[in-house]
Amino acid sequence: MNYTSTRSILAASSAKAIASGIAPDGGLYTPTEIPALTLEDLVAMQSLSYSELAADVLARFMTDFTKEELLEYARLAYDSGRFLRPGTDSREAVGLRELHDGEHLLELYFGPTSAFKDMALQIMPRLLTASLKKLGEERGVCILVATSGDTGKAALEGFRDVEGTRIGVYFPDGGVSEIQRMQMETQEGSNVRVWAVQGNFDDCQTGVKNIFASADANAEIGANGIMLSSANSINWGRLAPQIVYYIWSYLELCKRGDISMGQQVNVCVPTGNFGNILAAYIARRMGMPFSKLICASNANNVLTDFIKTGVYDRRRTFYRTLSPSMDILISSNVERLLYYLTDGDTAYVAEKMQELKETGTYTLTGKALEELQSVFLSGCCDDEMTADTIRDVWEENHCLIDTHTAVAVRVLRDILPEYETIIASTASAYKFSDGVLAALTGDHADGFDAIDRLQHHTGSAVPAPLDSLRGRAVRFDTVIEKDRMESAAVDFCRSFDL
Ligand SMILES: *Cc1c(COP(=O)(O)O)cnc(C)c1O
């Protein structure tokens, strides 16, 4: 299988795409063809375990890996006890829970950081180090990550003490939840570094992209025998593992008799950087019987407008919301969507991305817009509606959902109720305890105080990875200005030998 940049035609293997993270022209590596899945394939897949399914799906995209290699990585990621459903001894990596008629929550947050990012970031370090080996790369790799809260911690956990790698994470100072901050500040491992940046997530993301593009930074870091790469969803190695759980959830609905094989279902995803919903789109293009993909946003509703009108316009107020992992105005993976919507017109994608960079806006028209609107529906909801939904869902069936999942549930109920829909449930409610507690009780508290009160109020189990943060020493408390991001990375790559 061949990969290209979204901005110009070039030929790369999956190993090359994963090792590099971002393409040399600033575009995103993307497979030029999407492998097809037939109904017979799906029937055969019903007997596979999650790890076996992951190996099967990944093998279709990563033809320079053997299925045995991929199965080994999947088993190490998903079957080695790192996933645990709180309050039980179930070690299944994912779950599916019916909320209301037709509403199926795809529970993706049983991993070591209590958010869905673990689904990709537990396997991606293995894909990345194997890719480097396949390419004969002798340099070490430094992963730089911009995070709105969840990716950073998941990447730190995935890469900590992985030989030949080091990882640096930038998060917006004051822009993540108290728990998320504690998770990152207390990160263990000898190869990790964390910085709070005076700016928002878009500043962090742009800053990291600029470092990747900086000849100076690459030369200085390169002189230390280190290459840069990414663990954000601009890296194909992040996206591919996310396709698996959409297929899994569909098969699970069939097994449970909720739907018949081949029946169409919708998929609703709380969306920020457009990575998770893009994985659903790719699954759909493979042939999954997914009817509409519903893109749910919070008050930062740039994608809602884009899907409704074709106008992508980031020149708008940036809001800090109860769902901080979706507080994003520049959704990177829309770029991959454009590539597919235009049947691989890289010149067109490059032009639109240039317009976005220079003017803050671009407009999609013609066939690409038609295709976009035939597949996607969009909606948004504010913090008040998010809180109402958390309360509704708790009162309806004692299901505790986090603020991001609540956005998805609310948008779904507003625009397309009454169909079988898979809703991506992306984080443990305890990760956003302050917002969830306020929604349920009106009380305001922070950090462990919020966790304890939420636990007391609901009687539901606190995930072990969050509970165990109590009393951990802070290792990283550096706050830097945005224009110091590059020098921080350069210093980090100088500071110790691999
Ligand atoms: C990252 C994240 C999202 C958004 O996912 P994207 O792939 O960026 O669209 C939603 N919810 C939670 C809890 C997240 O951590």
Share of the chain above pLDDT 70, in %: 99
- Specify the pLDDT at position 177: 84
- Which atom of ligand 1 approaches the CA of 279 most closely? 7
Which two three-digit tokens encode residue 36? 């097809």
Q: Is the Cβ atom of 150 under 6 angstroms away from ligand 1?
A: yes
Complete edge-to-edge strand list for the sheet that includes strand 290-297? 95-100, 103-107, 421-425, 265-270, 290-297, 376-380
Alpha carbon 144 to chain centroid, angstroms: 15
CA atoms within 13 A on the CB side of 120: 27
Confidence of residue 496 (pLDDT cuts 50, 70, 90): low
pLDDT value at 495 more than 80: no
- Give the model confidence (pLDDT) of 464-482 as tens digits: 999 999 989 999 999 999 9
> How far, in Å, are 58, 116, 480 from residue 109 at the CA level?
21, 5, 30
What is the number of other CB atoms lying within 10 angstroms of the CB of residue 49? Answer: 16
Pocket test for ligand 1, best of 426, 428, 432, 436 (most atoms within 8 A of CB): 426
- Bridge partners of 386, per DSSP, are none
Q: Which residues contact 301 (CB under 8 A, 6 or more apart)?
A: 380
- 117 catalytic, yes or no? yes
Cα first-last separation, the chain = 32
Task: Kindly give the distance from the C-alpha atom of residue 339 to the centroid of ligand 1, in angstroms, as a whole number.
Answer: 21
Per the rule left: phi > 0, alpha: psi between -120 and 50, beta: everything else, 114 is: left
Tell me the pairing of strands 421-425 and 265-270: parallel
Per the rule left: phi > 0, alpha: psi between -120 and 50, beta: everything else, 302 is: alpha
- Specify the pLDDT at position 178: 86
- 3-class secondary structure, 494: helix
Q: Is the Cβ atom of 274 under 6 angstroms away from ligand 1?
A: yes
Got the DSSP string for 392-408? HHHHHH-----HHHHHH
- Give the model confidence (pLDDT) of 56-78 as tens digits: 999 999 999 999 999 999 999 99
Share of the chain above pLDDT 90, in %: 90
- 3-class secondary structure, 420: coil
- Give the model confidence (pLDDT) of 140-172 as tens digits: 999 999 998 889 999 999 999 999 999 999 999
> How far is 374 from 369, CA to CA, in rounded Å?
8
> How far is 349 from 77, CA to CA, in rounded Å?
34
Confidence of residue 21 (pLDDT cuts 50, 70, 90): confident
Amino acid type, 291: S
H or E element, residue 285: helix 275-286
- Specify the pLDDT at position 232: 87
Average model confidence (pLDDT) for the chain? Answer: 95
Quick check: pTM over 0.75?
Answer: yes
- Which atom of ligand 1 approaches the CA of 431 most closely? 13
> How far is 324 from 322, CA to CA, in rounded Å?
6
Residue with the nearest Cα to atom 8 of ligand 1? 273
Of these residues, 117, 153, 292, 352, which one is catalytic? 117
Confidence of residue 497 (pLDDT cuts 50, 70, 90): low
- Specify the pLDDT at position 336: 98
> How far is 133 from 150, CA to CA, in rounded Å?
28
Lowest mean pLDDT segment, chosen from 44-48, 162-166, 334-338, 414-418:
414-418
- Give the model confidence (pLDDT) of 341-394 as tens digits: 999 999 999 999 999 999 999 999 999 999 999 999 999 999 999 999 999 999
Task: Kindly give the distance from the C-alpha atom of residue 367 to the centroid of ligand 1, in angstroms, as a whole number.
Answer: 28
Q: Is the Cβ atom of 427 under 6 angstroms away from ligand 1?
A: yes
Q: Is the Cβ atom of 117 under 6 angstroms away from ligand 1?
A: yes
- Which atom of ligand 1 approaches the CA of 426 most closely? 13
- Give the model confidence (pLDDT) of 275-323 as tens digits: 999 999 999 999 999 999 999 999 999 999 999 999 999 999 999 999 9
- 3-class secondary structure, 228: strand
